Amino acid sequence: MEINGVEIIDTYAEAFGIKVSRLLVTAATKELALTATTEATGYATSVIGCPAEAGIDVYLPPTETPDGRPGYVIMICQGSKKKLSHELLERIGMGILTAPTTAVFNALENPDELLNEGFKLKFFGDGYEKELEIAGRKVHSIPIMSGEFLVESEFGIKDGVAGGNFFVGGDSKMSALIGAQAAVDAISNVPGTITPFPGGVVASGSKVGCNSYTFLNASTNEKMCVGLKNEIEGSEISAAVNGIYEIVIDGVDETSVKKAMYEGIKAATSVPGVIEINAGNFGGNLGAYKINLKDLF
Amino acid sequence: MEINGVEIIDTYAEAFGIKVSRLLVTAATKELALTATTEATGYATSVIGCPAEAGIDVYLPPTETPDGRPGYVIMICQGSKKKLSHELLERIGMGILTAPTTAVFNALENPDELLNEGFKLKFFGDGYEKELEIAGRKVHSIPIMSGEFLVESEFGIKDGVAGGNFFVGGDSKMSALIGAQAAVDAISNVPGTITPFPGGVVASGSKVGCNSYTFLNASTNEKMCVGLKNEIEGSEISAAVNGIYEIVIDGVDETSVKKAMYEGIKAATSVPGVIEINAGNFGGNLGAYKINLKDLF
Amino acid sequence: MEINGVEIIDTYAEAFGIKVSRLLVTAATKELALTATTEATGYATSVIGCPAEAGIDVYLPPTETPDGRPGYVIMICQGSKKKLSHELLERIGMGILTAPTTAVFNALENPDELLNEGFKLKFFGDGYEKELEIAGRKVHSIPIMSGEFLVESEFGIKDGVAGGNFFVGGDSKMSALIGAQAAVDAISNVPGTITPFPGGVVASGSKVGCNSYTFLNASTNEKMCVGLKNEIEGSEISAAVNGIYEIVIDGVDETSVKKAMYEGIKAATSVPGVIEINAGNFGGNLGAYKINLKDLF
Amino acid sequence: MEINGVEIIDTYAEAFGIKVSRLLVTAATKELALTATTEATGYATSVIGCPAEAGIDVYLPPTETPDGRPGYVIMICQGSKKKLSHELLERIGMGILTAPTTAVFNALENPDELLNEGFKLKFFGDGYEKELEIAGRKVHSIPIMSGEFLVESEFGIKDGVAGGNFFVGGDSKMSALIGAQAAVDAISNVPGTITPFPGGVVASGSKVGCNSYTFLNASTNEKMCVGLKNEIEGSEISAAVNGIYEIVIDGVDETSVKKAMYEGIKAATSVPGVIEINAGNFGGNLGAYKINLKDLF
């Protein structure tokens, strides 16, 4: 199958269940909202080694937020509810409460359940905190040195999808890189999804386990390493492909992840030198979701 | 004492010991180096609730790096050596190795000791890794999907200083905010220091302990909250001050932190509406360092 | 009248007729589209001294553009049709054709007439240019060193509105500045409008003519200068106002400009320390449009 | 000749004389200084169609500026002294005076002569302007709505060099593009030089004259167009090169331009897929300077 003249390999992305939260962070200006959300979603590419997976979902202009200020929606994801609760508390408390002029609202529709991290944060107010209602939401106003911090009392969580993915194959490394960046640009407008890796792009797709060092649970995917293409037996890289970058997507549900994959792949194929789209899976036995690339189109 | 007509309160900042590492992350372009270091230094404002304190130190042009590419120097800090070792491994492995085109070099001079996190990361190569020498440094080349990742074998750590600080007091909230941003701009050119909070600015300076809720170790510093100035007894905010933002600085040594405080305070005083510089301390019994504001000038 | 507790002065903005064009510039990535449009809309704050008034209108994701790539809509405005024709030709030819991976499409609905600047640009192809149809549009493909440049053959122009404006008054200079920035953030999501001054903000609102130097057509508006408030007679600045920044808006029609003023003013009033909204006029005899602030709400 | 394994073609860049000015623009924050200088240096890629050539030269931290604030040095260039005088007046008056919190100082050492554009701008103050001395410089303080604008009285100009250049050839379009971006990053740290095209990169290198349409003075350089490589006779593109972007450099003197070319070429060769460096000339009869690529190394 071809899209824009780019070969779509007949394979599937294998994705996993994860618990997701979705927050709206508003601030006095768009730039200040970006500063806070960048801090709060850092160090969060993969739960393999990071305490969470997190990223910026979409920007909302003042007309679409409860307090009429510009804001970014972010997602914070974790495999366990207990760890997600911890991450929510600390990423809000250390990364957003500490940032100039911010407020935080729940932005997850149809949650499976609610976590009361806003309620927990109010104690930072040492008795000077107050309870407000903003646009029908229960919000805690916590006095801080620079003014007040507003945080909704409860945040929804739900079972979402992690590890939706595709590989952008290029005729050179930099073709694949800009193709991947174009994909991230497109996905950034798909609500309910994030691309948690640095700048949305993964440079180092891995395989499960490790052949040479048995103490490792994950290691480089040598059969997809462009630098080893001609050095090892069994390389799975197409003859014309000299560059590969991966996009990994987390979403609130499978539909959102599929939409992000669709938009991302279409965008990648518009970049000169992108010649093939592939996807990563682990034989189909590890993840709860199999997303066939061909079914997206 | 006055600097540029701004009152410098006769007080001191109380700072603490912390273990610091300092890394140089290079990439194909300045933008790609920024993407990687932003991810790797996120979720790292204060060890009160974050797994580390981290931030971008200085930018180095291609002429000043071992591989002739643009790069950002970052600092990662933790109270314990064991936790710092963990943070180095994961922040490099999950935030930089995963980012397009990066390489990582040690950037700490005169270390107390060396941690072999680069050596540990090489196992990700599953036997395909190689050892190189670049500018006299021992470097591991790890094949990754997009090419190769270069990481120096050992990273120095040393006893540094955390929590250097000052408060920017303004005639309004936004005067204090832009004053604080000007301070961060100035400090960003002082090598060996970072301002780990979001955008370098702290909106919510805290006190030790909590009066109303004894289960909390830290809570809002109500005597310095501008919103409570006229509502509580014992507010310590000057009559004319209506806005306060704090700058917190971590550095490789006390000299660097003092230099950053000096440059930051001078810059803050150049902003219209900044009227007072203060500092935070805890009675002098908690921290190893007392830095008098007046001694800076 | 008060909005969010901020006084709206009972006055009007006096605006003028201007000829406007509206273009969509797409590129391989959002960043590359921003690079091109930033160059093409520079040196374009006011036709008092610049060859045009120009700015970025809105961002369009790949799903909303003719070629499925991310793009920014820009507006270029001039008082005369002849000069607008020249500015379109040069700003596209020198600022967008020269930028990596770009294409340009007409984005003005219901034009009064069409200018064939795309047709004129095709001659740069020296006979190697081709004609294409993209999404029903007639487009010239011009071979350039790096690939090909696509430009729609004709661009619509129409009679629009220049100089829609309001003043953000703050309790300090920096309150007014961040209030103005918040206004610009809000206006950036109102299609059909731009804020052509640097970062969207005017630091130096002027008056018509000059009292001391008769050779000048425009000079500082001393009665609204915060630094002269207590030095001159007849200052028109309210007692509590210590900072003023102006927002100037150009739009495709009066409705768009009013919508931008409404959203901008609302946003400005959400910033701490913003205490008054005013507007600029010239007695009502110069401009074709009078927009009462109170009628916006 | 090879640098980092990349072929340096045995050719020369042909450059021209131009009159250059060099200004330092400071502001309350680095971001505000960038906003002003971006506006003032826009629409200025080439005097072929723009009213000037302009760009940001280097960033100066607060410790290196006359007023202790962060600032960007910019260069504004024109073929004629009269036009340069006009461009200085309007780009400062419309793009910097109008921007929040700015001041402008002369930053050209060893000028051939001085233009009194600061003196001319003071009349905007309508008699309320004052004269100051800052760091030994004669400066006009002009009251504006938001405060005061400071501008040095005189700005130096000198005979500089325009059109220093090189071509980055890649195995694909995107390799050449990122190679060119790496070059721009490196040149941005060479004082006394700018890369005036969008983002510093030229997508559309041209030739003098036009074969098919004699009314044009410049047209596409078809022999260097990658898209025509296999369609026309006489293509001058090497067999392996599939992508070409050009870097154009203006500088205060030939030494600076050579230094920028050297640093830029070295940086480009560090990007994967960059395989050849070439340069543009016109037979050697048009420009006053011939810079051999091989002599740079």
Domain co-membership, A76 together with A177: no
Find the CATH number of the domain harbouring D191.
3.30.70.520
Residues of D at the B interface (Cβ-Cβ below 8 Å)? 28-31, 61-63, 67-70, 101, 147, 178, 181-182, 185-186, 188-189, 263, 266-267, 270-272
Domain co-membership, B51 together with B166: no
pLDDT at B252: 98
Q: Which chain D residue is nearest to residue C205, measuring alpha carbons?
A: D145
Task: Tally C-beta pairs within 8 A across A and B.
Answer: 278
Compute the Cα dihedral for C25, C30, C32, C34 and give only its sign. positive
Task: Express as a percent the part of chain B with pLDDT over 70.
Answer: 100
Number of domains in chain B: 2
Q: Which of A175, A225, A245, A270 to mutate to test the interface with D (most CBs of D within 10 A)?
A: A175
Domain co-membership, A247 together with A120: no
CB A58 within 8 A of CB A99: no
pLDDT at A98: 98
pLDDT at B286: 86
- Helices A173-187 and D173-187 sit at what angle, rounded to 10 degrees? 90
Domain co-membership, A171 together with A94: no
Residues of B in contact with D67 (CB under 8 A): 270
Nearest to C271 by CA among C169, C175, C166, C186: C175
Chain mean pLDDT for chain B: 97
C85-100 tens-digit pLDDT: 999 999 999 999 999 9
E strand or H helix at D176, and its extent?
helix D173-187
CB-based contacts of B255: which residues, under 8 Å, 6+ apart? none
Per-residue H/E/C for B44-100: CCCCCCCCCEEEEEEEECHHHCCCCCCEEEEEEEECCHHHHHHHHHHHHHHHCCCCC
Q: How confident is the model at residue A286 (pLDDT cuts 50, 70, 90)?
A: confident
Task: Express as a percent the part of chain C with pLDDT over 70.
Answer: 100
Nearest to A51 by CA among B51, C209, D193, B165: B51
Please give the average per-residue pLDDT across C195-217, as a whole number: 95
A16-29 tens-digit pLDDT: 999 999 999 999 99
- Helices B81-95 and B30-40 sit at what angle, rounded to 10 degrees? 140
Please give the single-letter amino acid code of residue C287. G
Choosing from A98, A133, A158, the residue where a domain stops is: A158
Domain co-membership, A137 together with A166: no
Domain co-membership, D178 together with D97: no
**Cβ <8 Å between D68 and B147:** no
Q: Does the pLDDT at position C164 exceed 90?
A: yes
Domain co-membership, A57 together with A132: yes
**Cβ <8 Å between B175 and C178:** no
CB D117 within 8 A of CB C198: no
Residues of D in contact with C218 (CB under 8 A): 124
Task: Express as a percent the part of chain C with pLDDT over 90.
Answer: 98
Domain co-membership, C42 together with C93: yes
CB A157 within 8 A of CB A21: yes
Residue carrying structure tokens 């440059």: B263
A39-96 tens-digit pLDDT: 999 999 999 999 999 999 999 999 999 999 999 999 999 999 999 999 999 999 999 9
Q: Does the pLDDT at position A285 exceed 90?
A: no
Q: How far is CA B25 from CA A186, B65, B69, B152, in A?
A: 28, 9, 9, 11
A138-148 tens-digit pLDDT: 999 999 999 99
B7: helix, strand or coil: strand
A74 lies in which domain range? 18-158
Neighbours of chain C (3+ CB pairs under 8 A): A, B, D
Residues of B in contact with C31 (CB under 8 A): 31
pLDDT at A34: 98
Q: Which chain A residue is nearest to residue B173, measuring alpha carbons?
A: A146
Domain co-membership, A122 together with A53: yes
pLDDT at A203: 98
Expressed in angstroms, the distance from the first to the final Cα of chain D is 10
B192-234 tens-digit pLDDT: 999 999 999 999 999 999 999 999 999 999 999 999 999 999 9
Residues of B in contact with C175 (CB under 8 A): 172-175, 273
Q: Does the pLDDT at position B241 exceed 90?
A: yes
Residues of D at the A interface (Cβ-Cβ below 8 Å)? 31, 170-175, 177-179, 242-243, 271-273
Please give the average per-residue pLDDT across C206-214, as a whole number: 94
Q: Which of D47, D98, D101, D174 to mutate to test the interface with C (most CBs of C within 10 A)?
A: D98
Q: Does the pLDDT at position B283 exceed 90?
A: no
Chain mean pLDDT for chain A: 97
Q: Which chain A residue is nearest to residue C259, measuring alpha carbons?
A: A63
> How far apart, in whole angstroms, are the C-alpha atoms of residue C139 and residue C137?
6
Domain co-membership, A146 together with A229: no
Residues of B in contact with C173 (CB under 8 A): 175, 272-273
pLDDT at B65: 98
Residue ranges in chain D whose pLDDT is less than 70: none
Domain co-membership, C129 together with C169: no
Q: How confident is the model at residue A283 (pLDDT cuts 50, 70, 90)?
A: confident
Residues of C in contact with A263 (CB under 8 A): 62-63
Residues of D in contact with B30 (CB under 8 A): 185
Q: Does the pLDDT at position A284 exceed 90?
A: no
pLDDT at D286: 86
Choosing from A125, A141, A158, the residue where a domain stops is: A158
Domain co-membership, A129 together with A27: yes
Expressed in angstroms, the distance from the first to the final Cα of chain A is 10
Residue B84 burial (C-beta neighbours within 10 Å; 0-12, 13-18, 19+): buried
Choosing from C158, C178, C198, the residue where a domain stops is: C158
